Amino acid sequence: MMMKYFIANWKANKNLKEVEEWLNLFLKLYRPVKEKVIVICPPAFLLTYLQSRIKLIPNIKIGVQNISHFEEGPYTGEITAKSLTSLADFVIIGHSERRKYFNETKQIIEKKISLAYKYQIEPILCIRNENDWLADKKIRYVAYEPVYAIGTGNNEPLEKVIQLKNKLNLSLTTSFLYGGSVNDTNAKQYLSSNQIAGLLIGEASLDPRMFYRIISTI
């Protein structure tokens, strides 16, 4: 089996108590499998708590949902790549919600990608379509998330996802992920395809049982 990635994007959901409950349940169900990598992306202020809980558990990594495009300095409220060194393994960059509500441009996204690399945090670039792909940046993880499919229950069928992938001309070192209304009934079609290296899961990752069922579909 090829390596499959399961990225839980919690967005602006959950407080400390809810994360505690999520972990209590999930860790009871979870059995590590060599070819499956779980990446949990909580709200940033919960990273250290999450880290303390999963430190000794194989194949669970920590991600953040965003980083600042500033490296460091007087930027009140910003969370920089530098400040996340040794706390986060992955960072989601260019999510369509960030592009839409926080006016993230291609220039800002490119800055974030280079800061992520500088501080050894692996970027997962989210693209809405082929125009968002940054072919020259040697990005190792790309997540295709069509806007109409995010949070709507209207996931994109596998054939269309693969059509989009083919337009990107990815190198063999880039892992292609899909996201948009993934749940425990539609996950299998993507996971059984050797074209798809994993899933970016929003809503369905908030429930530990549902998230566990998605991981267990293959």
If binding is defined by CB under 6 A, does position 157 make contact with ligand PGA?
no
- DSSP string computed for 81-130: TGGGTTT-SEEEES-HHHHHHS---HHHHHHHHHHHHHTT-EEEEEESSG
**168 and 134 Cβ atoms separated by less than 8 Å:** no
For ligand PGA, which residue of 42, 63, 94, 179 counts as binding (CB under 6 A)?
179
If binding is defined by CB under 6 A, does position 94 make contact with ligand PGA?
no
Q: Which of 215, 155, 143 is nearest to 184 (CA)?
A: 215
Q: How far is the CB of 33 from ligand PGA (least distance, A)?
A: 22
Kindly give, in sequence order, each residue whose CB lies less than 8 Å from that of residue 158, ignoring residues fewer than 6 positions away: 189, 190, 193, 196
Q: Which span (113-121, 169-177, 186-194, 202-210) binds ligand PGA, by CB under 6 A?
A: 202-210
Number of residues that bind ligand PGA (CB under 6 A): 13
159 in catalytic set: no
95 in catalytic set: yes
Of the candidates 97, 104, 145, 156, the residue annotated as catalytic is: 145
If binding is defined by CB under 6 A, does position 146 make contact with ligand PGA?
no
Tokens of 161: 């996802």
Of the candidates 95, 97, 156, 203, the residue annotated as catalytic is: 95
User: DSSP strand E in the chain: where?
Assistant: 4-9, 36-41, 60-64, 90-93, 122-127, 141-144, 175-179, 198-201
If binding is defined by CB under 6 A, does position 214 make contact with ligand PGA?
no
If binding is defined by CB under 6 A, does position 63 make contact with ligand PGA?
no
Q: Could you give the CA distance from residue 72 to residue 67 in angstroms, rounded to a whole number?
A: 11
If binding is defined by CB under 6 A, does position 58 make contact with ligand PGA?
no
Nearer to ligand PGA among residue 132 and residue 203 (C-beta):
203
| Residues tagged active-site | 95, 145
Q: Write out the residues near ligand PGA by the rule CB under 6 A.
A: 9, 145, 150-151, 179-182, 200-204
